[in-house]
Amino acid sequence: MVNPLDDPIAVALAGLVLVLLARFTPLGLGLALLVALPLAPAIAALRARPHDRRVTAEIDAAEVRCRELAIQADLVRREALARFQDPAHLEPLGLVQLCCDRLRDLPERIASRRRLLQSGGGQLLSVQELEQRLQREHMAWRQESSATLRQERQRLVDQLRRNLEAARRGLDERQARLLALSTRLERIDGGLRHLQAQVARHWPSSDATDMAMTEAIAPLDQALDQIEQLLDDGRR
């Protein structure tokens, strides 16, 4: 069901029909109301259909992306197990496995919350919030010394710029939520590649530091936590 109050154009068109019927036909106000009132939800439903199809396509794309990330995470998990030799690094190996297991479950989690992603509840993206996040991420990009992470931060900055432009044009709740999800998935994609590079670089060396692995996992855990919050209550 579509709420016509969410579509001012549908309400305005129904109101115009009401005025025309009441003033220029012999129906009178009572019959004109009976004719005009059902028009608002009908017009809103017709106008919403193309948008609903776009939202459905975006959700489908997010599910496909999650499945790709789950496959990538499973490869990282297997590589970490294959390279792991030093018992001193057992704790970071456990963190890698836990993170990859969470990513493996992500497609099912998205599918189970499809109704939420299709719903109109939640909050709109805040232009001010996006501007602040873009400023923070741009500063972090300028200060990043790692070439790999710098490239991934650049992608995140570009994504945030696109989100900000869209928010300035005005978004409904579903678009806002899906853009937030898309941003987190972009962050996970880059974070996974960085984690895989760290696994290849530090293991099986006995000189590997737990701190490097922990720092590589932290952005992935943060993005996953944010997705969980997004799927739980629609907030960003």
164 and 61 inside one domain? yes
Given a cut of 80, whether residue 114 has pLDDT beyond it is: yes
- The pLDDT tens digits of the residues spanning 122-171 come to 445 678 888 888 899 889 888 888 777 787 788 778 878 877 876 777 66
Can you tell me the mean pLDDT for 206-217?
77
Q: What pLDDT does residue 234 have?
A: 46
56 & 89 share domain: yes
Residue 42 lies inside a defined structural domain of this protein: no
Average pLDDT, the chain: 80
pTM over cut 0.95: no
Residue 3 has pLDDT above 50, yes or no: yes
Cα separation, 181 vs 28, in Å, equals 51
Q: Let me know: does 106 contact 70? Beta carbons within 8 Å.
A: yes
The pLDDT of residue 98 is 93
Domain match, 108 and 182 both: yes
Q: Are 11 and 76 contained in the same domain?
A: no
pLDDT score for 179: 81
212 domain-assigned: yes
Residues 48-57 pLDDT 10s: 665 567 778 8
Mark whether 82 and 28 lie in a shared domain. Answer: no
Average pLDDT for 221-236: 76
- Residues 14-54 pLDDT 10s: 888 888 888 788 877 778 788 777 887 777 676 666 556 77
Q: Is a pLDDT exceeding 80 seen at residue 80?
A: yes
44 belongs to a structural domain: no
Residue ranges making up the domain that contains 15: 4-36
Average pLDDT over residues 107-130: 75
pLDDT given for residue 5 in this prediction: 57
Both 32 and 113 in one domain: the answer is: no
- Stretch 180-207: mean pLDDT: 85
| Domain match, 101 and 213 both | yes
